[in-house]
Amino acid sequence: MDMWLKEGQIADAAMTYKIKETLVTKKTEFQDLAIVDTYEFGRMLVLDGIIQTTVRDEHVYHEMISHIPLFTHPNPKKVLVVGGGDGGAIREVLKHPSVEKAVLCEIDGDVVTECKKFLPEISCALEDPRCEVFIGDGIKYVHEHKNEFDVIIVDSTDPFGAAEGLFGGSFYKEIYECLTEDGIFIAQTETPFYLPDVVKRVYDDANAVFPVTRLFMAAIPTYPSGFWSFTVGSKKHDPKAVDLSNTIDIATKYYTKELHKACFVLPKFVEDIIR
């Protein structure tokens, strides 16, 4: 009998994937966790029935959420990743030689543990000596660390349940205070096809806090609609205007310096959502 994973995050649409093997399922303190091996996308991390990352397309998400802010900042030394227990964002952050310390603040320690076991190509940098893994509440962590980080990456699950507090103006004000004087923050901010209201609300909330706010898009096949938004809030540096001519070359599969500029050119319907 064939086994299929069906993600029904959107009420009137679903995505399905044929499963080769179920590697782990467990109920953690915060959510239902599963890692499955699929025929088309390889191993997948699934939380509360929603796909978080897959071996085949994870590079798109992790490269774009990491390299856009890190190449925008002139000298990022200390980086905080809120969420992102799979370790993919940390892996990309630590490709930047200027980074002296990267802190992963993940509320669910089981995510970190299981990803180390079953997704080693994604979680591999969690053992890097520059990485500190802190298991705890990201909101509390940000509140307790003022003027400390050059870049903050909010690599959260969707704005429901445990991650709901990571979306919104009050948290973005805390992030602003946690950043250094020229700091930059970035968050994944859902799909404009299915959740335009969420995209607009998050953009507006960030725009009310940060002097420079930009939204960009990336193509991620296993996320609903395959068309995903990210929002950048910056105290000084504009990711659209940054000079990338003297930046280092790093190993990537999706991000390029040309794409860094191009991704901020938005389709009209997305411009209309955030206008």
Annotated binding site: 31, 62, 86, 106, 137-138, 155-158
Torsion of CA 249, 254, 259, 263, to 10 degrees: -140
Torsion of CA 154, 159, 161, 163, to 10 degrees: 10
Contact 122, 152 (CB under 8 A): no
Which segments of the chain does DSSP mark as H helices, in order? 58-72, 88-93, 109-118, 120-123, 138-144, 169-178, 196-207, 257-262, 268-274
CA distance 199 to 158: 12
Q: Which of 108, 110, 155, 205 is catalytic?
A: 155
Annotated binding site for S-methyl-5'-thioadenosine: 31, 106, 137-138
Annotated binding site for spermidine: 62, 86, 155-158
Phi (first) and psi of residue 185, to 5 degrees: -125, 155
Query: What tokens were used for 135?
Result: 């298991």
243 is known as an active-site residue: no
Contact 102, 92 (CB under 8 A): no
Total Cβ atoms within 10 A of residue 197: 11
Cβ-Cβ contacts under 8 Å for 272 (sequence gap 6 or more): none
Instruction: Catalogue the active-site residues.
Output: 155
